[in-house]
Amino acid sequence: MPVFEYKGLTKDGKNTRGVLDSDNLRTARVKLKKDGIYVVDIKDKKRSADGSVRKSKQSLTTKSIPVQDMALMTRQLATLVKANIPLVDALTAVAEQVENPTLSNALADIKNMVNEGSPFHKALAKYPSIFSNIYISMSEAGEMSGTLDTILINLAEFSEAANDLRVRVQSAMTYPILMLLGTFAMMAYLMTSVVPKIVTVFEDNPQIQLPWYTVAVIDASNLAVNYWWIFLIVGTLSVFLFLSWKKTPAGKRKWDSFSLKLPLFGDMNRMVAVARFTRTLATLLNGGVPMLNALQIVRNVVNNDIIASAIDNARSNISEGETISGPLRKSGQFPPIVIHMVNIGEKTGDLENMLVQVSNAYDFQVKNKVDSLTSIMNPILIMIMGGVIGAIALAIMVPMFEMTNIAQ
């Protein structure tokens, strides 16, 4: 059945776009009209040139989707599947409702593959940049166990929780970064615009004995004005070399180890990794994914090679018949409370629930840690900014006062 891509206006005058299946262009327009959509543009995607079709499909397989859009789509799909609507019809409805065109087109293609007999999880695997290994593995487990609706709800909740944690950490770092950028911009302006003008005044009064800190500020200003391009090249090259080193296996491992030992931020980095580990593992186990497969997926979620290595060791030991808590304890990378809760969960057969409790507790701790760091860093950064600008102002004002006294 042909797939049509359309752009239109709703009854409220809002722009909308999406894809739908229809026998022909006329019936597609009739269907959209019944849905209250005034069609502005509509075309049969299969009639596009072969090159453009291949390009579109290639972009779908490489373009990622915002977490919010994925969570909303997953929850909508779960609601429809739970209402006993066939999966093909549910995918059709969701593809038409999704506002993100990339996700909408991917869902339309997935619906076609499912309609032709392909398993849902294999259709998802065609788009690895959109659907993660967690999403695909849990969908496979849901299909095998007949609990796809429950699995999709769990995935939606997992995506929302993970996004909330990421946004919380990013928002906490936004203000300090802006403060540092503001301080740097103010220093650059003073050194390249204000100080050179003041220097001419001092040069016209050779009887003024400049203090050492004023001389230091003037020398720094001369360097900034005359050799700014050297600083730009060195700075750019340093960033490039650092990022290149960080991408290497050895560099990433050393940086990940260092990030866990950083003052103030080391504990928070570990808390974020532990929260991801426990929540993801709980979600996978609740979804029916075997432990060994779940650990293989989780090790890529923590985003830290040191903790990932500890998970790999635990996975190897579990395959030999050991428990998960023992290897995690030996690694020294997990807090004692996590080991204790995991151990209790293994003994009581309620590991998934214990992992959920740990992840909830660490989400709360991360929030408190972020708030604490923000409350500490804000006054420190303000003091640094004020101190730097104040030092430059003092270096300028002291000789100016001396000139005033001489003039009197």
Cα separation, 296 vs 302, in Å, equals 11
- Here the tokens at position 32 are 């959209």
Q: What is the pTM of this model?
A: 0.64
Position 54 scores a pLDDT of 42
Position 388 scores a pLDDT of 83
Per the CB < 8 A criterion, the answer to whether 333 and 310 are in contact is yes
139-171 pLDDT tens trace: 887 887 777 888 888 888 877 777 777 777 777
Position 84 scores a pLDDT of 86
- Here the tokens at position 135 are 């999403």
227-282 pLDDT tens trace: 888 988 998 999 999 999 988 989 999 999 998 888 877 888 888 888 888 888 88
Backbone angles phi, psi at 63, to 5 degrees: -95, 130
CA 109-114-119 angle, to 5 degrees, is 120
* 368-372 long-range contacts, CB within 8 A, separation 24+: 369/267, 369/268, 369/271, 370/168, 370/169, 370/172, 370/268, 371/172
- Delineate the domains of the chain, giving CATH numbers in brackets: 1-47 (3.10.20), 148-408 (1.20.81.30)
* Mean pLDDT for back-to-back runs of 10 residues, the chain (408 residues): 74 76 73 78 58 46 72 88 88 85 88 88 88 83 80 81 75 78 84 81 73 84 86 92 91 91 83 84 82 83 86 84 83 86 86 86 80 78 84 82 67
